[in-house]
């Protein structure tokens, strides 16, 4: 489907010069002098780089349909993640780089949301909040609940997260996967 920058919305994916870009932010500008333009912040979906660009409002672009599918992470095969589509039970291989730093929080049987363009994976992400066991941290000190001080803790998958001083090895905690921050102790 053909679109113009006037049709932009955050998250829209389009093709230009054989490359796919995702709209991160956009703003329509109508200066006092000169023609109007659209100031955009775009992400190149192949390299992951984010850059700013000015586009003419009448420029023709091709919109790309991206479908989100729920998949389960099964295991590693070299540098590839083997995931299974929950609806069709088809298994596909994804490069581990597709998760970015969220790969450090990945555990077996984890649910992933995979963005697909037809049969081509474009991206993958963990749920916003995941629960992980703390595999190592310095011991907590009794009474350390009143201050906002933090300490590093290693969790399942190998990621290091800053946690409050009262968290101990073996505790299960909830983690925000976008900001890599401690949310709360898990209520098991």
**Residue written as token pair 């589509």:** 85
Q: What is the CATH number of domain 129-185?
A: 2.40.50.140
Phi, psi of 104 (to 5 degrees): -65, -15
Please list the pLDDT of the chain residue by residue as tens digits (188 residues). 788 888 888 888 888 888 888 888 999 888 888 888 999 999 887 777 789 999 998 889 988 888 889 999 999 999 899 999 988 899 999 988 888 888 999 998 999 999 888 888 888 889 999 999 999 998 866 665 566 788 899 999 889 999 988 888 899 999 999 888 999 988 86
| 129-185 and 67-125 share a CATH fold | yes
Burial 25-62 (b: 16+ CB within 10 A, else e): ebeeeeeeeeeebbebebbebeeeeeeeeebebeeebe
So what CATH class is 67-125? mainly beta
What distance in Å separates the CA atoms of residue 32 and residue 116, rounded to the nearest whole number? 42
Instruction: Give the three-state DSSP class for 105.
Output: helix
User: Given this model, what pLDDT does residue 140 score?
Assistant: 67
CATH architecture of 2-63: Roll (2.30)
Domain borders along the chain are: 2-63, 67-125, 129-185
């Amino acid at each position: 489907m053909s679109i113009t920058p006037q049709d932009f919305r955050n998250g829209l994916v389009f093709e230009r010069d054989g490359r796919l870009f995702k709209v991160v932010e956009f703003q329509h500008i109508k200066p006092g002098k000169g023609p109007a333009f659209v100031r955009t912040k775009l992400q190149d979906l192949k390299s992951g780089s984010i850059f700013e660009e000015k586009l003419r409002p009448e420029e023709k672009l091709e919109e790309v349909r991206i479908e989100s599918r729920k998949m389960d992470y099964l295991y590693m095969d070299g540098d590839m993640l083997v995931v299974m589509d929950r609806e069709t039970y088809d298994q596909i291989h994804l490069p581990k780089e597709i998760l970015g730093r969220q790969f450090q929080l990945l555990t077996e049987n984890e649910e992933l949301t995979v963005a697909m363009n037809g049969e081509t994976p474009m991206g993958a992400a963990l749920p916003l909040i995941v629960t992980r066991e703390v595999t190592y941290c310095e011991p907590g000190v009794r009474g350390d609940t009143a201050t906002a001080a933090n300490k590093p803790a290693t969790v399942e998958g190998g990621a290091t997260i800053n946690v409050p001083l009262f968290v101990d090895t073996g505790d299960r905690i909830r983690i925000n996967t976008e900001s890599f921050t401690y949310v709360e102790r898990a209520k098991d």
